[in-house]
Amino acid sequence: MTSCDCSTPPATPRRRVRAAAALASLAAAAAVFTAGCAGVEPWERDLHARADMAADVHDAAIDDHIYFSKEASSGGRSFAGGGCGCN
């Protein structure tokens, strides 16, 4: 076995790498959106103003509770939270 190269920094924990990657992705995505979009003028927002273009928060809350109770993941769109001793 060879001796270690003590000048090499210790390995970064996997989780920190993932967190950094996620934040970098988010920052890159944000930069692309803001730089790449010429901007939609307020009078061009008629389609965005339509009710079906907004998330249905009522149904989303119902679904979040069902899947929170039955799967190991939660949150994403909103807070992961806690709040039940689910079966």
Partner 1 sequence: MQLKRKPVGATLAAATCSLLGSLPAAPAAAQEAKDWNVDTSLLYYGEDNGRVEDVSLLASIRRAFDEDRTLAATLTIDSLTGATPNGAVPANVPQTFTGPSGGGSYTVAPGEQPLDTTFLDTRVALSASWQQALGNSTRWSVGFSGSDEYDYLHLGLDARLERDFNLRNTTAFIGVAYGQDEIKPVGGIPVGLAPMGGEVEDDGEDDDDGDDDGSERGRDADGSKDVADLLVGVTQILSRRSLLEVAYSYGQADGYLTDPYKILSVVDPVTGVPVAGSEDEVPYLYLYENRPDSRTKQSLFAEWRYAFDRDSFALNVRFMDDDWGVQSQTAEARYRWNINDRSYLEPHLRWYTQSAADFYRTVLFAEDAVPGFATADYRLADLDAYTIGAKYGLRTDRGEFSLRLEYYQQSPTESPGSAAGDLAGFDLTPDMKAVIVQFGYKFDF
Give the footprint of partner 1 on this chain (CB under 8 A): 15, 18-19, 22-23, 25-26, 29-30, 33-34, 37, 39-42, 44-45, 47-48, 50, 52-53, 55, 58-59, 61-62, 65-67, 70-87
Contacts of 60 (CB under 8 A, 6+ apart): 77, 78
Closest approach of Cβ 8 to partner 1, in Å? 25
Q: Which of 47, 81, 87, 45 is nearest to 66 (CA)?
A: 87
The total of other beta-carbon atoms located within 10 Å of residue 68's CB is: 18
Residue 6 vs 39, nearer CB to partner 1: 39
